[in-house]
Amino acid sequence: MITITPKRAFTVQIQATCINVDVFTGKTIQDIKNLPITEGKETITLNDAFNITENKTVETPNITLTGDFSKVKRIGQGMKTGEIVINGDVGMHTGEKLSGGKIIVNGNSGGWTGSEMKKGLIEVHGNSGDYTASPYRGTSTGMRGGLIIVYGNVGTDVGCYMQGGLIRINGSAGRYLGYHMLGGTIYVEKDCAIRVGACMTGGKIIINGTVELLMPTFTVDSIKPKVKIDATQTAQGPFYVFLGDIAERGTGKIFALKATNPTCSSYEKYL
């Protein structure tokens, strides 16, 4: 196990794509210390900014980061195997394009966490930022598979263009949850802000709390007693089931818990 701690507080952004199990594998501690990162415009070595130690007796997690990493971006980007544990906050693009392995954040994580992720697991024990699991600007292929669990809240535009996999949010979700979603599942334990599922054409969003306001472009379909989250878990209802986004001729489904959404009762007349 490699342990990394910051040597000082950082002002400007640090891009550290090299903090990645795939990159560390097969390198000596000295090699790792000399890996290049950028602090602002300046290229420095990992050792310039961080204390790095190795503990050969422990296998997993492969990398442990302890301290404030909120200005450090792109940790575990494109990682295929292995496990990274971050004890503290972490910056943007953590686990972007993850195609395997595991990233556990014991703190908050920044925007674009798990962006365009394909496989693997990301667990955030604090809050996760805007655009979690959403793709880069102008891209219309989002998360394809894997699992993201957020124990806190998430920001806006989470799960945009999602095609597969599961996002489980134990707190509340911001605006535009599941925007333009094509497939996969998003589960929200608590409340959900406006414009949930806007422009979605497939997939399902399950909301166990209150929906602030449903888009007018959704039409009520039925009331279902329960809904499957994945192969093993089921959410107990009853749920209102909404179909949409009809402006996109979509067939995505929003499940809103009946008990917590009395405002949706106006839709019952169409059932």
Partner 1 sequence: MTEILIKNGFVFDPINKIDCQKMDIAIKDGKIVKKVSESNAKIIDVSGLTVMAGGVDIHSHIAGSEVNLGRLIRPDDHVKDVVKKTALTRSGTGYSIPTTYVTGYRYSKMGYTTVMNPSMAAMKAKHAHEELNDIPLIDKASFTLLGDWWFALENIAKGDFKECARLVAWMIRSTRSYAIKIVNPGGLESWGFGRNVHSLDDEVPNFCLTPRDIIIGMAKVNTMLNMPHTIHLHTNNLGVPGNYKTTIDTMRALESVYQGDKPIGHITHIQFSSFAGDNWAHFKSGAEEIANYLNAHNHMTVDIGQITFADTTTMTADGPFEFALYELGGHNKWVNSDVETESSGGIIPFHFKRKNAVNAIQWSIGLELSLLIKDPWKWFMTTDHPNGGPFFHYPRVFAWLYSRKAREATLKNCNKKAQKKSLLPSIDREYTLYELAIVTRAGTAKALGLKNKGHLGIGADADVSIYNINPETTDIANTYKSVRKAFGNAVYTIKDGEIVVKDAEIVATPSGRTMWLDVQTKEPCRINDEMKRKFKEYWTIEFDNYPVTDHYIKVPEKISIKASV
Partner 2 sequence: MTKVIGSVVCTICGCLCDDLEVTVENNEIIKMKNGCAVCEAKMVHGYKSEERILKPHIRKNGKLVPVTIDEAIHEAAQILTDAKYPLLFGWTSSASETQHVGVELAEELGSALDNCCSVCHGPSVMATQEIGIPTATLGQIRHRADLIIYWACNPWSSHPRHVERYTAFTEGRFEKSEFKEYVQKLKAKASQKKVAAAIRRTQVRYQSPSRPKSALVEAPPQTLAKEGRKMVVFDVMKTMTAEVADYFVQVEPNRDYEIFGALRCLVNDQELDVDTVGGVPVDYLKEIADVMVNAEFGAIFFGLGLTQSIGRFRNVELAIALTRDLNRKTKFVVSPMRGHFNVTGANTVFAWQTGYPFALDFSQGYPQYNPGEFTAIDLLRRGDNDATLVISADPGAHFPKGALQNMLKYPLITINPDWNAISRLGDVVFPTQWCGIEQAGTAYRMDSVAITLKKVVEAPKGVPSDEEIVRRILEEVRVIKAKKTATDAADGNVSQEMVGSKKRRSKSIEKEMY
Partner 3 sequence: MVEQKLSVTLITGRTIDQGVGKELGKGSSEYFDSVAVCFLDPVDIKKLGLKNGANVQVTSPYGSVVVKVKKYTHGTMSGMVFMPCGLWANVICGTDTDSIGMPTFRGFTVEVEPAPDKPVLTLDELLKQEFGK
178 is a site residue for partner 3 (CB under 8 A): no
Q: Which is nearer to partner 1, 6 or 111 (CB)?
A: 111
Q: Is 13 helix (H, G, I), strand (E, B) or coil?
A: coil
Q: DSSP strand E in 21-132: where? A: 36-39, 42-45, 50-54, 63-66, 72-73, 83-87, 99-105, 119-124
| Residue 136 Cβ vs partner 1, minimum distance, rounded to whole Å | 6
Among 101, 135, 155, 203, binds partner 3 (CB under 8 A): 155
CA 206 to chain centre: 16
CA angle 33, 115, 257 (to 5 degrees): 135
DSSP string, 214-235: --TT-EEEEEEEEEESSSS-EE
Q: Which does 219 bind (CB under 5 to 8 A by kind): partner 1, partner 2, partner 3, none?
A: partner 2
Q: Closest distance between partner 3 and the C-beta of residue 157, in Å?
A: 7
> Is residue 180 within 8 Å of 197, Cβ to Cβ?
no
Alpha helices in the chain (DSSP H): 21-24, 29-33, 46-49
Of residues 124 through 143, those in contact with partner 1 by CB under 8 A are 135-140
Q: Which residues bind partner 3 (CB under 8 A)?
A: 111, 129-131, 155-157, 174-175
Interaction site with partner 1 (CB under 8 A): 135-140
Contact residues toward partner 2 (CB under 8 A) are 11-13, 15, 38-44, 48, 71, 92, 111, 130-131, 136-138, 140, 175-176, 179, 194-195, 198-199, 213, 215-220, 245-247, 249, 266-267, 270
